[in-house]
Amino acid sequence: MANFLKRLFKSRDKPKDSVSQAPNFYMGQSVSGKVVNERTSMQTTAVFACVRIIAETIASLPLHTYRYRGEGKEKMYDHPLYRILHDEPNPEMSSFTLRETMMTHLLLWGNSYSQIIRNGRGDVLGLYPLLPDKMLVDRDQKGELYYTYRKEGQSYYLGPDEVLHIPGLGFDGVMGYSPVALAKNAIGLNIAAEEYGGRFFANNATPTGILSTSGTIKDPTKVRDAWQAAYGGRNNYKVAVLEDGLQYQAISMPNSDAQFLETRKFQIEEICRIFQVPPHMVADLSRSSFSNIENMAISFVVHTIRPWLVRIEQAMNRKLFKEKEKGQCFVSFNASALMRGDYKSRMDGYAIGIQNGFFSVNDVRRMENMDPIPEEEGGDLYLTNGNMLPLKLAGAYAKKALEENAGDEE
């Protein structure tokens, strides 16, 4: 079927659009005058915290390789991909490090690229992350995608089967757009506010001002330089002596009057909005309470983490499995640990599951990382309350059945 669709596609008009020339959003100077790129943005605490929280959360989730078995599934411990994705994608890094790097690239550049190393049979032997700012994606004359990786003045050409490309949100279905580039003005304002605060306190939090007099100053530059030398910088707490009728008047408002702290706080909320991270996770507890913080954590898993997991899983299923394995084998994150809740809530949920027969004792013990109870001791039994009966055995249905049985016996 896949080969038929490929031939059908080739028989039609080839795509004429060039991916590299598609509309894009570029990093650079923001309206605040600050240069915003993936590196300067990570120097702001809010961006660093949001990227770290999402990347570390996804990297810490177990990633397993499965095959469908009847109506269920089973882990494929013997599949070459299992060890690569779960433990060690290459000799230089762990699975956690690779996925953390992939997510960092996605959150800053909007795209993640990893080179796929295969053997002659097509089995994946390793994955190596590639820097997104060194990658060019385009189409050849036949309309096929190809990747050009530029490193140390050399260009390396890679086919689509050699690159695990995970795009973020985009417009053409091929390339993702950088959240940092899209929100560079908001991030630039945050950088400008941080620099303003740094310069303000570098001047010992003393506002600037003017020297005025009713008379005429022949050389104002000399007077200004003399004042700066005597009372500027580290000397600004010295007692000033004014001559020739000079008067000093401050012209800058204190930070409290300029709502400096409120501006910085709002920009933190703006950056959290960009990455869909609840503010309490970056230590902003102003709108958090004991009653809503757990709900916000669950919302973070559902609306922030889960879409990224689906995006990564589907890209891996497309690129890493052989054609004959697709539809039979798949990779999947185990995100159940993020939804566990507090201890009492978990125990109440487990009790309901055991009493209604869809959890066994060993099912619960596995979810709590406890050793299972031996099968002969009843650890794998599925139980239900004795007062729960099928409808046909209750009330009028049971009476009618008994009467019919009695009639047959007569």
Lookup: tokens for 270: 């703006």
3-state secondary structure at position 36: strand
pLDDT at position 11 over 50:
no
So what's the pLDDT on residue 281?
79
The contacts of residue 393 (CB under 8 Å, 6+ apart) are 401
| pLDDT tens digits, one per residue of 261-318 | 667 777 788 888 888 888 887 777 766 666 677 777 788 888 889 999 999 999 999 9
Per mean pLDDT, which range of 39-48, 155-164, 263-272, 384-393 is the poorest? 384-393
pLDDT at 16 over 80: no
The larger pLDDT score, comparing residue 33 to residue 112, is at 112
Q: Average pLDDT of the chain?
A: 78
Chain-centre distance for alpha carbon 71:
32
What is the longest distance spanned by two Cα atoms in the chain?
Answer: 132
Q: Where are the alpha helices (DSSP H) in 232-342?
A: 260-275, 293-300, 306-320
Across 73-82, 170-179, 361-370, 372-381, the highest mean pLDDT is recorded for 73-82
Domain layout of the chain by residue ranges: 2-184+296-319, 208-251, 340-409
**Residue owning tokens 């411990």:** 77
Residues facing 135 on adjacent strands: 149
Q: What tokens appear for 281 in the block?
A: 């996770």
The fraction of the chain above a pLDDT of 90, given in percent, is 26
Q: What confidence category does residue 103 fall into, taking pLDDT thresholds of 50, 70 and 90?
A: very high
